[in-house]
Protein backbone atom coordinates (compact mmCIF):
# COMPACT_ATOMS: atom_id res chain seq x y z
CA UNK A 1 0.00 0.00 0.00
CA UNK A 2 1.27 3.43 -0.84
CA UNK A 3 0.92 5.98 1.90
CA UNK A 4 1.42 9.57 0.99
CA UNK A 5 3.47 10.79 3.91
CA UNK A 6 3.29 14.41 2.95
CA UNK A 7 -0.48 14.27 3.39
CA UNK A 8 -1.06 17.18 1.14
CA UNK A 9 -4.58 18.51 1.16
CA UNK A 10 -6.31 18.01 -2.09
CA UNK A 11 -9.50 19.96 -2.35
CA UNK A 12 -11.67 19.59 -5.36
CA UNK A 13 -14.76 21.62 -5.81
CA UNK A 14 -17.91 19.60 -6.17
CA UNK A 15 -21.30 20.40 -7.60
CA UNK A 16 -22.99 20.36 -4.24
CA UNK A 17 -24.70 23.37 -2.78
CA UNK A 18 -24.28 24.07 0.90
CA UNK A 19 -27.58 23.46 2.74
CA UNK A 20 -26.74 26.09 5.34
CA UNK A 21 -25.67 29.14 3.38
CA UNK A 22 -26.45 28.12 -0.21
CA UNK A 23 -22.91 28.64 -1.39
CA UNK A 24 -21.73 26.56 -4.33
CA UNK A 25 -18.16 26.70 -3.15
CA UNK A 26 -18.24 23.30 -1.59
CA UNK A 27 -15.00 21.39 -1.63
CA UNK A 28 -14.63 17.67 -1.40
CA UNK A 29 -12.14 16.57 1.17
CA UNK A 30 -9.80 13.77 0.23
CA UNK A 31 -10.21 10.13 1.31
CA UNK A 32 -13.57 10.01 2.91
CA UNK A 33 -15.83 11.98 0.66
CA UNK A 34 -17.06 14.49 3.18
CA UNK A 35 -17.58 17.93 1.76
CA UNK A 36 -16.79 21.28 3.23
CA UNK A 37 -18.46 24.56 2.53
CA UNK A 38 -15.62 26.99 2.07
CA UNK A 39 -17.98 29.87 2.68
CA UNK A 40 -19.42 29.03 6.10
CA UNK A 41 -17.36 26.02 7.13
CA UNK A 42 -20.28 23.62 7.32
CA UNK A 43 -19.32 20.00 6.84
CA UNK A 44 -21.63 18.14 4.52
CA UNK A 45 -21.66 14.45 5.12
CA UNK A 46 -22.57 12.18 2.28
CA UNK A 47 -24.12 9.36 4.23
CA UNK A 48 -27.60 9.59 5.62
CA UNK A 49 -26.63 7.95 8.88
CA UNK A 50 -24.67 9.82 11.44
CA UNK A 51 -21.19 10.02 10.18
CA UNK A 52 -17.97 10.36 12.03
CA UNK A 53 -14.92 12.03 10.61
CA UNK A 54 -11.26 11.96 11.39
CA UNK A 55 -11.43 15.34 12.98
CA UNK A 56 -14.19 14.34 15.35
CA UNK A 57 -12.29 11.26 16.43
CA UNK A 58 -9.11 13.24 16.93
CA UNK A 59 -11.04 15.77 18.97
CA UNK A 60 -12.60 13.09 21.14
CA UNK A 61 -9.28 11.36 21.73
CA UNK A 62 -7.58 14.63 22.46
CA UNK A 63 -10.17 15.31 25.13
CA UNK A 64 -10.29 11.83 26.62
CA UNK A 65 -6.69 10.73 26.17
CA UNK A 66 -7.42 7.16 25.19
CA UNK A 67 -10.53 5.27 24.39
CA UNK A 68 -11.63 1.80 23.47
CA UNK A 69 -13.43 1.25 20.20
CA UNK A 70 -16.66 0.76 22.09
CA UNK A 71 -16.35 4.03 24.00
CA UNK A 72 -15.32 5.88 20.90
CA UNK A 73 -18.39 4.54 19.21
CA UNK A 74 -20.67 5.69 22.01
CA UNK A 75 -19.05 9.07 22.18
CA UNK A 76 -19.26 9.76 18.44
CA UNK A 77 -22.54 7.96 17.83
CA UNK A 78 -21.33 6.32 14.66
CA UNK A 79 -21.88 2.81 13.41
CA UNK A 80 -19.34 0.02 13.86
CA UNK A 81 -18.50 -0.19 10.20
CA UNK A 82 -18.06 3.48 9.76
CA UNK A 83 -16.00 4.04 12.85
CA UNK A 84 -13.86 1.10 11.88
CA UNK A 85 -13.19 2.59 8.47
CA UNK A 86 -12.17 5.94 9.84
CA UNK A 87 -10.04 4.42 12.56
CA UNK A 88 -8.28 2.24 9.98
CA UNK A 89 -7.76 5.23 7.80
CA UNK A 90 -6.29 7.25 10.64
CA UNK A 91 -4.04 4.38 11.66
CA UNK A 92 -2.69 4.06 8.15
CA UNK A 93 -1.98 7.78 8.17
CA UNK A 94 -0.08 7.34 11.43
CA UNK A 95 -2.48 9.53 13.38
CA UNK A 96 -3.74 6.85 15.71
CA UNK A 97 -2.17 4.11 17.70
CA UNK A 98 -4.00 1.05 18.82
CA UNK A 99 -2.62 -0.50 21.99
CA UNK A 100 -4.52 -3.57 23.15
CA UNK A 101 -7.72 -2.26 21.65
CA UNK A 102 -7.34 1.19 23.14
CA UNK A 103 -6.93 4.07 20.77
CA UNK A 104 -4.97 7.22 21.32
CA UNK A 105 -3.51 9.95 19.17
CA UNK A 106 0.09 9.67 18.09
CA UNK A 107 2.35 12.72 18.12
CA UNK A 108 1.63 13.04 14.44
CA UNK A 109 -2.07 12.76 15.19
CA UNK A 110 -1.90 15.57 17.72
CA UNK A 111 -0.04 17.72 15.24
CA UNK A 112 -2.59 16.90 12.59
CA UNK A 113 -5.41 17.83 14.95
CA UNK A 114 -3.86 21.17 15.83
CA UNK A 115 -3.33 21.94 12.17
CA UNK A 116 -6.90 21.10 11.37
CA UNK A 117 -8.14 23.13 14.28
CA UNK A 118 -6.31 26.24 13.18
CA UNK A 119 -7.02 25.81 9.57
CA UNK A 120 -9.43 27.89 7.61
CA UNK A 121 -11.21 26.06 4.87
CA UNK A 122 -11.06 27.26 1.37
CA UNK A 123 -7.49 27.70 0.35
ZN1 LIG B 1 -22.13 27.10 3.67
pLDDT digits (tens, 9 = 90+) for 4-19: 444 455 556 667 788 8
Q: How far is the CA of 115 from the centre of ligand 1 (A)?
A: 21
Domain count of the fold of the chain: 2
Residues 42 and 67 occupy one common structural domain: no
Q: What is the pLDDT of residue 77?
A: 84
Which residues are found with C-beta within 5 Å of the ion, ligand 1?
A: 18, 20-21, 23, 37, 39-40, 42
Distance 21 CA to ligand 1 centre (A): 4
Q: Which residues of the chain have pLDDT under 70?
A: 1-14, 29-33, 46-51, 120-123
Q: What does the pLDDT read at residue 81? A: 84
Is the domain of 22 the same as that of 71? no
Q: Is 75 inside any structural domain?
A: yes
Given this model, what pLDDT does residue 13 score?
Answer: 65
In a domain, 92, yes or no: yes
* DSSP assignment string, the chain: ----TT-----EE-S---TTT--S-EEEPTTT--EEETTT-PEEPSSSS----HHHHHHHHHHHSEEEHHHHHHHHT--HHHHHHHHHHHHHTTSEEEETTEEEE-HHHHHHHHHHHHPPS--
Boundaries of domain holding 113: 49-118
Q: 101 and 88 share a domain? A: yes
The pLDDT, as a whole number, for residue 14 is 65
* Residue 75 CA, ligand 1 centroid: distance in Å: 26
Q: Is residue 4 part of a domain?
A: no
For residue 16, the model assigns a pLDDT of: 77
pLDDT score at 30: 58
pLDDT on residue 123: 43
pLDDT at 105: 97
What does the pLDDT read at residue 12? 64
104 CA distance to ligand 1 middle (Å):
32
CB contact set of 29 (below 8 Å; sequence gap of 6+): 11, 35, 36
Alpha carbon of 68 to ligand 1 centroid (Å): 34
For the domain that residue 76 is a member of, what is the CATH number? 1.10.10.10
Domain assignment of residue 36, yes or no: yes
CA distances, 4 to each of 1, 31, 80, 104, 112 (Å): 10, 12, 26, 21, 14
Asked if residue 94 belongs to a domain, the reply is yes
Same domain, 77 and 25: no
Amino acid sequence: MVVNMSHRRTLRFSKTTCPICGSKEVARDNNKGDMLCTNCGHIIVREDTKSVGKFEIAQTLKREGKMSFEKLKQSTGSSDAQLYNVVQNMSSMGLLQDIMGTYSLTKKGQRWYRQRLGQEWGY
